[in-house]
Every structure is written in C-alpha cells, then in structure tokens.
Amino acid sequence: MLSTDPANERWQLYRVLAEPVRLRLLALAEAEELSVGELTELLDEGQPNVSRHAGALRQAGLLAERRQGTRVFLRVAHRTAADPVVADALATGRRLVEHDGSLARVEDVVRGRDSHGREFFARHTTGEEPTTVASAVPAYLFALAPALEHRGRVIDAGTGDGALLDVLAPLFVEVLAIDRSEAQLGRARDRVVARGYQNVELMCAELDAAEVAARADGGVDLVTSSRMLHHAPRPGETLAAIARLLRPGGQVVVIDYLRHDDERLGEQQADVWLGFEPAELTALAAAAGFVQPMTRRIPASHLGEGTDTHLGWQVLTARRALASGEAPHTAPQARRRTQQAAK
C-alpha cells in the first residue's frame, strides 16, 4: 500500500486509480485470484496492456502476485480495502464489472481452468495396464498409515485408473471410487474385475454432486485423493467438498505434488496448478474446516517409476472438526462397520 504520509506524495495513489481499466482489474482481482491471461480474457484487453496496468497496481501495493511457473496470479493485497480511497475505487470498479458483465464471467473462467484436464482424461486411456499393481504402492501406504484407526467406509476422490484401490479395497469394508471421467472409470473397472473386489463401488460424478453426498450417508471414515487436487480449478472448494463427505472426526489424506516448475509435464497432464507449497495446503485445509492439518514429504524411494516421480510428492492429513461436546465415531452404524473391518 502507498503510505498516507504526505511526504510520500499521496497524489500518486489518485493517479494510479484514475484509469477505468485499473479499477475493473482491481475489482476482478478482489473477487477471485486470477492469472494475467484470465484477466486479459475478462477485461477484453491485450495482455501487454493488462500487464502494464497490473504492474502499476502492484507497484502501488494494491495487488499481490503468486507465480505458478511462467504464470502470474494476481489478487487484491491484504488490508487494501482499509484505505478509504482504495475502498471507493473498489466499489467503483465493482459497479463497472457488474455493468459490463465481466464479474459474472469470473465463474466461467475459473471453471475453464480444468477444461483441458477434462478433455485429457476423457481421451487418455494409454499407459500401464490397469490390472498391474501400482509401482507407487509404498508411497500410498506411507501416506495412509496414520489414518487407519477406523476401516469402515472410504471414498477415493478422483480415483483415475483405480491404482489406490489395490490398497483401499483390502483394508476397508466399503470403498466408493469417484471420478468425473468415464474413460478413467473404465480402467478402474477393469482393475476391480481383475482383482475380484466385491466391496468397491464406482461412480462417475463431480465430488460435490448430490448423489455423492447421498451415497456418503452421513459421513465416511476417510476420503483419499491421490494427485487430483492440482487439477481442481479451486482447490479450497474441493477440500471443502471432501470435508462435507466425512463424518465428524473423519480423516482426509491428500497426496499431491510439491510446488514445481515443470510446465512441460503440467501441460502433458493437463494440470491446473504446478503443485503446492506445504503451508499452502495446510492453509487450504484449515479454511475448508479441517483441524490438525499436517503435511509430510513422501520419500523419493517410495515413488517407484513414472513420468512424475522426479517431482517432490507430499501428503496432507487432517480431520473434520467435531461438533461441540461430540465424541468421535459414536454412531451405532459406524461402530458396526469398524467391528466388521476388524474381523
């Protein structure tokens, strides 16, 4: 932020804000963290022009940036709106983007982040045969080890070809494997049939779909997600959707990449994000309503073979918070499932 000290010539703040494009840009960056490319699309301006205006706002301390490889994401800087001049500028910018319709298109732009990923997974059926035991099983077991207190019901979110089912199916009484790609579920189905898993149900759906919530039936013991979160347009919303599927006290295990700069691999795999900083993951989990979020780096020796094993892998574990005065896992149905799992 520019200082309010007259010695710093506060008139410069008025000069920076005396441009409608900057007011619109500021309002859009307040509504959502957006890349320069996304802002270019929303503002219907050339990228050099958007970058120039964003640079002026960054220099004034009004915008903060976050880099993902060569992409730059912009958001309104913390406590920016506390300045009355900037607050008025934001209000004016919001009226402008509401009037021109660009604010309403933010949701479409965010959803479009994973359009390449949807196309990729819809057509991608080559690679390792689905009936082969995943070479990264040691990594999965390492990630799951702290989460095996209750082995009743588990949801595998974004199951893909079902590699994690070779770990989950033998351990849990009921396994619900969810993916939004029929092509990927076809590979998972081949694995389930080949292995003879009788306790695995496959479902093609978005994670926040009503039918998934209905199938969760009051909450499952564990939700796993292996290398799925970096495909999510809004990772925080995905974690919040996962939290809603868990019983109070239930756990989540998220395996994903550490922040990296391999944009070529990201493009090949239709990634939206190039991994996450550990602190970023724990902050997202806390914001989604989880307690005790913790990340650990998975040893490289556990990763086996694959096109992405040169990247750092990490695991996030956390619990859904209990209601005030509530004891974990006390429902009779949940107790029966745990007793069955122990047999």
What does 261-329 look like in DSSP terms, one character per residue?
--HHHHHHTT-SSS-B-HHHHHHHHHHTTEEEEEEEEEPGGGS-SSTTTTS-EEEEEEEEPPPTTPPTT
34 in a domain, yes or no? yes
Residues 155, 303 within the same domain: yes
Q: Structurally, how many domains does the chain consist of?
A: 2
For residues 54 and 113, give the distance between their C-alpha atoms in angstroms, rounded to a whole number.
21
Domain boundary among 104, 133, 148: 104
Residues 306, 180 within the same domain: yes
Residues 76, 161 within the same domain: no
For residues 125 and 207, give the distance between their C-alpha atoms in angstroms, rounded to a whole number.
21
Token pair for residue 85?
């001049």
Q: Show the domain range for 17.
A: 6-104
Q: Which residues of the chain have pLDDT under 70?
A: 1-9, 124-135, 138, 149-150, 324-343
177 in a domain, yes or no? yes
Residues 160, 27 within the same domain: no
Token pair for residue 338?
């745990």
pLDDT of 193 reads 94
**Mean pLDDT of the residues in the chain:** 87
pLDDT of 124 reads 66
Residues 97, 147 within the same domain: no
Specify the residue for token string 């120039």: 52
- Cα dihedral sign for 79, 81, 83, 89? positive
Nearest-CA neighbor of 36 among 24, 25, 23? 25
Domain harbouring 74, CATH code: 1.10.10.10
Residues 205, 131 within the same domain: yes
**pTM for this model (two decimals):** 0.77
How do residues 146-193 score in pLDDT, each as one tens digit? 777 667 899 999 999 998 998 898 888 899 999 999 999 999 999 999
Residues 97, 175 within the same domain: no
Domain boundary among 104, 128, 163: 104
